[in-house]
Amino acid sequence: MSLHKRHTLSATALILATLGLTACGNKDAAPAASGEVTIKIGHAAPLTGPQAHLGKDNENGAVMAIDELNSRGVTLGGNKVKFVLISEDDQADPKAGTTVAQKFVDQKVNGVVGHLNSGTTIPASRIYSDAGIPQISGSATNPTYTQQGFKTTFRVFANDVHQGQALAQFATQSLKAKTIAIVDDRTAYGQGLADEFKKAAEAAGARIVAQEFTTDKATDFKAILTKIKASNPDILFFSAMDAQGGPALKQARELGLKATFLIGDGGCTPEFIKLAGNAAEGQYCSLPGVPLEKMPGGTVFKEKYKQRYNQQIQLYAPYVYDAVMVMADAMQRANSADPTKYLPEVSKAQYQGVTAKIEFDAKGDLSVPAVSIYQDKGGDWNFVETLGVTAAAPAKK
Amino acid sequence: MKMAGRFLARLRNPNGSSMHWVAWVVLGVLLATMPWIIGASFGNTWLRILNFALLYVMLALGLNIVVGFAGLLDMGYIAFYAVGAYLWALLASPQFGLHWPLWAILPLGAAVAGLFGVLLGAPTLKLRGDYLAIVTLGFGEIIRIFLNNLNAPVNITNGPQGISAIDPVHFGSVSLARPIDLGFTTLPSLVAYYYLFLVAALLIIAIALRLESSRVGRAWAAIREDEVAAKACGINTRNVKLLAFAMGATFGGVAGGLFAGFQQFVSPESFGLLESVMVLCMVVLGGMGHIPGVILGALLLTLLPEFFRHIAAPLQQSLFGKVFVDPESLRMLLFGLALVLVMRYRPSGLWPSPQRRREIDDVLNTDAPADLPVNPT
Amino acid sequence: MDIFLQQIINGLVLGSIYALVALGYTMVYGILGLINFAHGEVVMVGALVAYSIMTALLPTGMPPVLLALLALLVAAPVCMGLAWAIERYAYRPLRHAPKLAPLISAIGVSILLQNLAMMIWGRSYHSFPDILPAITYDINGAHISLLQVVTIALAALTMAVLAWLIQRTSLGQAMRATAENPAIAELMGIPVNRIITLTFIIGAALAALAGLMVGANYSVAHYYMGFMLGLKAFTAAVLGGIGNITGAMLGGLLLGLIESLGAGYIADLTGGFLGSHYQDIFAFLVLIGVLVFRPGGLMGERVSERA
């Protein structure tokens, strides 16, 4: 290679770098039509990497909410407003999570929905809190998130404690399980849920006969399943996502493990049934909130999603949709999109969402975190019962 | 930034190993004013990215000692970063109710990380090249798995949930997490962290430069070029190699501690294999063994994905009138492509040491058989 | 006893899959001394192409075995083409570059392929169709399916064919000569570049087969599946002695067994102190142990070692 070419290349690299920095000066100036006020909502989730399918699903939910708000036409303080979604990839990486959070703060977003993972949500929440920007997560389940003493943190999803207790209640009371095996994937989600489930199940008198572990990248579960088979439990609670749960269930049946399979929200997806195949028939999963079909607007949302994205809802899209809607609702009640003005209104929310009636407790968690149980019948998750419901939510069948 | 470009071009001046004092002054002023300029013109996002870039500069320089100076391929380097970060997290958070100050934790973090470096180095002394790579990779994973699982039977690391509410970096009662009132002006938190990281990075650069030209540095170079010959010359290869691992690890430990204080949250997912690979890419892409090159590599690889984040959508918009490839996929795609292209056209890195470049040129231009595979037969 | 037997079977099947992928690594390493980091990604492409073909042809009602063969017939050339391109454009120009340059280039290719695959096949996990009827045999209470038997047999067969190819054919002789010293091989009239390309292409054909078998065994295909698999397979190759065909097979089986027995018995061995979450640590410790006492891997490395 000639010397000349070398210099050209390094010069190009430098120019690129320089351009990069200058280009960002005039970034993302969202043009607003005259007379319209633009309200920016930030959305963060992993859009690349192994969890990208869930991240995209979240984004879809947010996009639908934004479009609906815009077509409905919202006015705040006498001005017609236009909602704009700024969606960023946090790569499920805590460091990238804070960078994205900072970007939102710099762009002066009016509110943030996200992030998807607890590991990104927690460090990012500090930055939103410092900037006074309300943050509503539709999927982070780690209890710590709302326990940091920040006024800006909310979630429209049952946390690990609530869901773990509901699952244990279902396992010990409805399924009358005496012996239980637990597998978790050693992620913040899987381990957190498994621990709460274990505590509640033991308190309810069940015996944990085996506790095994896998990872969120594993595909082969036969070794741990063989071990579990030796302890012959009534129920296998698999605390992981669908990508692991589905194949694990299939492999369990291949090994002749007959325990009833129970999985949390991470497995309550069409994907799980697809991956587990026939083995999924008759098995159970849980999902915070009440079934979409039972909520006003729920079925419509489901159909609209299917039409628009040509696929079923993956997992958290309805919750993220609700998160945006709760935020917009609070803005309307405050008649302002100024975070300092509408933040108190978020805490006072009484919003009928598609996943539940949303009211927050003092920390920003759902005050009535309902959890519903579903069973696979003929390749679809069918509603079984809702646990932890009070008068606020529709009565169960 | 254009000024910085011109300035870097000047640094590249092949006959100038000693820079003119004017250049030093310009560099100093530039570094000191950088956070204000960037904060004002590009926003705090870029300031935060710059802070992370400085952490990566420290990491890359640490790994450069092992890979660049001593020629030992380490693919588990992030473990030392993790050790430093968790040590800070454990000694300055509600986890154990301890709140040690910076001056106690950082040296301890460096020392413990150094110890881990020796622990890694000791069993791997006999291994070469790719075998060493896989063993170090395994070592990195072992550390991460322990951090991820040590929440039972005794809760030490809080497992996958990570440790939150970590104390920010603070000097006495002055915390860097809040704007600092200096009387005449207030220092925003991110700027304060920038100065702290800058000082740490400069210190590490100074140590690395001194090491390179020291007796030990020459011993490392000797081992890198030919271990047998080095041994024959009377170099205690075992000790010198262990020292490389230990020195490299201490830099990682310091960077890790600062990361924990800055982020105020640590969890095992920040210390995965991909992070090790990324730091290795910085070292190699920049110019292995050449300190300015390594710094350039660290800066570029931290800034590049963020840069792509900002241009992926607007670029398509302006070129094709609509966004048809999802900007997130495009971002990582371009990043992968950049790695391939840089290696393709600058195999010894963007900014290799002049000596190394000569060696490569010699191989590429004079060695006859070397040319053969390039032309299809 | 049936539990122990079952763990052995689990380990052998897992090990066979590692071995299939490891063979591709080891061939390329043997001839070039290059860690082909992108090999896992080629396996991923193989699995996803096979998935697409099979789901597209599923409505025709063809028997699954035929579908699988057709899928392989498409997936293999795609992977081969891909490997050819990777070798030609990402590795060949770097053949005389400093040692780590090809490694970084390989990592770049790996990221590139992952994101390309994400664009083509989307972000969701795909459910891989069955390629064999679900027949399960019962040995003393332990279960083994027809697919698993076929997987083990295929891995052994592939290894045998490769060993024959390398030891007994003139192509193999040329490959060995190239591995020994490319410059002298060239002088001896061996078309070195063509041999290297061929090695990559054979490795890619194996990757397509491995992709199909991985997909079928775990019934999942996803754009991110190559990374972890590649890493494990590479570990297996090193364990056996990288560059050595029998070593790759042995390393794969051994790693599979270690993981399976580790997950099954580590808790009993440590009195319940460590559980199956330490399975990978166990595997890596064995690897480190083996390398400390046998720095060239179990079977020793390839004949020539470049300085």
| pLDDT tier for residue C88 given thresholds of 50, 70 and 90 | very high
Q: Is C160 on the interface with A (CB under 8 A)?
A: no
Nearest to A105 among B44, B151, B331 (CB): B44
Res A7 pLDDT > 60: no
The answer to whether the Cβ–Cβ distance between C277 and A271 falls below 8 Å is no
Residue B73 corresponds to which tokens in the numbers above? 């391929």
* CA neighbor of C179 nearest in space, from C301, C56, C12, C48: C301
Ranges of each domain in chain A: 36-158+294-366, 161-288+372-387
Nearest to A94 among B2, B9, B263 (CB): B263
**Percent of chain C scoring above 90 in pLDDT:** 61
Tokens 């270690």 appear where?
C258
Q: What is the pLDDT of residue B372?
A: 38
Q: Which residues contact C74 (CB under 8 A, 6 or more apart)?
A: C49, C50, C53
Class of domain A161-288+372-387: alpha beta
- In tens, the pLDDT along A203-231 reads 999 999 999 999 988 999 999 999 999 99
Res A188 pLDDT > 50: yes
Res B377 pLDDT > 60: no
Neighbours of B30 (CB within 10 A): 13
- Spatial distance between the Cα atoms of B255 and B201, rounded to a whole number of angstroms: 9
Number of CB pairs, chain A paired with chain B, less than 8 A apart: 130
- In tens, the pLDDT along A99-158 reads 999 999 999 999 999 899 988 999 999 999 999 999 999 999 889 899 999 999 999 999
Ranges of each domain in chain B: 1-7+19-41, 45-272
| pLDDT tier for residue B1 given thresholds of 50, 70 and 90 | very low
Mean per-residue pLDDT, B119-130: 83
The answer to whether the Cβ–Cβ distance between B351 and A10 falls below 8 Å is yes
**Residue C223: inside a domain, yes or no?**
yes
**Residue C130: inside a domain, yes or no?**
no
- The mean pLDDT of chain B is 86
Closest chain B residue to C97 measured between Cα atoms? B347
Q: Which residues contact A204 (CB under 8 A, 6 or more apart)?
A: A168, A169, A172, A173
Res A6 pLDDT > 70: no
Triad A178, A263, A187: Cα angle to 5°: 110
ipTM (interface predicted TM): 0.90
Res A163 pLDDT > 90: yes
Pairing of strands A74-76, A371-377: unpaired
Res B241 pLDDT > 70: yes
Res B165 pLDDT > 70: yes
- In tens, the pLDDT along B10-58 reads 555 544 456 678 888 999 999 999 999 988 888 888 999 999 999 999 9
Q: What is the pLDDT of residue A18?
A: 43
**Number of compact structural domains in chain C:** 1
Helix, strand, coil share of chain B (percent; to 5): 75, 5, 25
Encode burial over B118-157: b for 16+ CB neighbours within 10 A, e otherwise: eebbeebeebbbbbbbbbbbbbbbbbbbbbbbbbeeeeeb
- SS3 string, C180-211, reads HCHHHHHHCCCCHHHHHHHHHHHHHHHHHHHH
Q: What is the pLDDT of residue B335?
A: 86
Chain B: partners with 3+ C-beta pairs within 8 Å: A, C
Q: Is B13 on the interface with A (CB under 8 A)?
A: no
**Residue C207: inside a domain, yes or no?**
yes
- The mean pLDDT of chain C is 90
Q: What is the pLDDT of residue B362?
A: 60
Triad C221, C224, C226: Cα angle to 5°: 80
Residue C266 corresponds to which tokens in the numbers above? 């580590």
Coil/strand/helix, residue B215:
helix
Q: Give me the long-range contacts of B205-212 (CB less than 8 A, separation at least 24).
A: B205/B57, B205/B61, B205/B291, B205/B295, B208/B61, B208/B64, B208/B65, B208/B251, B208/B291, B209/B291, B211/B65, B211/B69, B211/B247, B212/B69, B212/B291
The answer to whether the Cβ–Cβ distance between A17 and B5 falls below 8 Å is yes
- In tens, the pLDDT along A260-309 reads 999 999 999 988 999 999 999 999 999 998 888 888 888 999 999 999 99
- In tens, the pLDDT along A315-345 reads 899 999 999 999 999 999 999 999 999 999 9
* CA neighbor of A51 nearest in space, from A327, A376, A371, A269: A269
Q: Which CATH number fits domain A36-158+294-366: 3.60.21.10, 3.40.470.10, 3.40.50.300, 3.40.50.2300?
A: 3.40.50.2300
Q: Is B337 on the interface with A (CB under 8 A)?
A: no
Chain A CB contacts of B45 under 8 Å are: 99, 102-103, 106
DSSP A42-109: EEEE--SSTTHHHHHHHHHHHHHHHHHHHHH-EEETTEEEEEEEEEEE-TT-HHHHHHHHHHHHHTT-
Domain span at residue C151 reads 7-124+138-293
Least confident residue range of A169-173, A390-394, B61-65:
A390-394
- Spatial distance between the Cα atoms of C188 and C183, rounded to a whole number of angstroms: 9
Chain B CB contacts of C109 under 8 Å are: 336, 340
Chain C CB contacts of A254 under 8 Å are: 136, 143, 145
Residue C29 corresponds to which tokens in the numbers above? 């390493």
- Written as one letter, the residue type at A67 is D
End-to-end alpha-carbon separation of chain C, Å? Answer: 49
Res B360 pLDDT > 70: no
> How far does the CA of residue C180 sit from the closest CA of chain A (Å)?
28
Q: Which residues contact C27 (CB under 8 A, 6 or more apart)?
A: C162, C199, C202, C203, C206, C245
Q: What is the pLDDT of residue A14?
A: 44
Q: What is the pLDDT of residue B9?
A: 53
Q: What is the pLDDT of residue C285?
A: 85
| pLDDT tier for residue B322 given thresholds of 50, 70 and 90 | low
**Percent of chain B scoring above 90 in pLDDT:** 56
Nearest to C3 among A217, A226, A271 (CB): A226
- Spatial distance between the Cα atoms of C195 and C202, rounded to a whole number of angstroms: 10
Judge whether A181 and A209 are in contact, CB under 8 Å: yes
Chain A CB contacts of C14 under 8 Å are: 220, 222
Judge whether B244 and B218 are in contact, CB under 8 Å: no
Residue C14 corresponds to which tokens in the numbers above? 């897992």
Coil/strand/helix, residue A365:
coil
Q: Domain holding C216: CATH number?
A: 1.10.3470
Residue C131 corresponds to which tokens in the numbers above? 């390629």
- In tens, the pLDDT along C244-298 reads 889 999 999 999 999 999 888 888 887 777 888 888 888 888 888 888 888 778 8
Dihedral class, residue A388 (left if φ above 0, else alpha if ψ from -120 to 50, else beta): left
- In tens, the pLDDT along C162-214 reads 999 998 999 999 999 998 888 999 999 999 999 999 999 999 999 999 999 99
The phi and psi torsions of C188 (rounded to 5 degrees) equal: -80, 5
**Percent of chain C scoring above 70 in pLDDT:** 97
> How far does the CA of residue B329 sit from the closest CA of chain C (Å)?
6
- In tens, the pLDDT along B47-89 reads 999 999 999 999 999 999 999 999 999 999 999 999 999 999 9
Looking from the CA of A4 toward its CB, the CA atoms found within 13 Å total 0
- Spatial distance between the Cα atoms of B240 and A396, rounded to a whole number of angstroms: 72
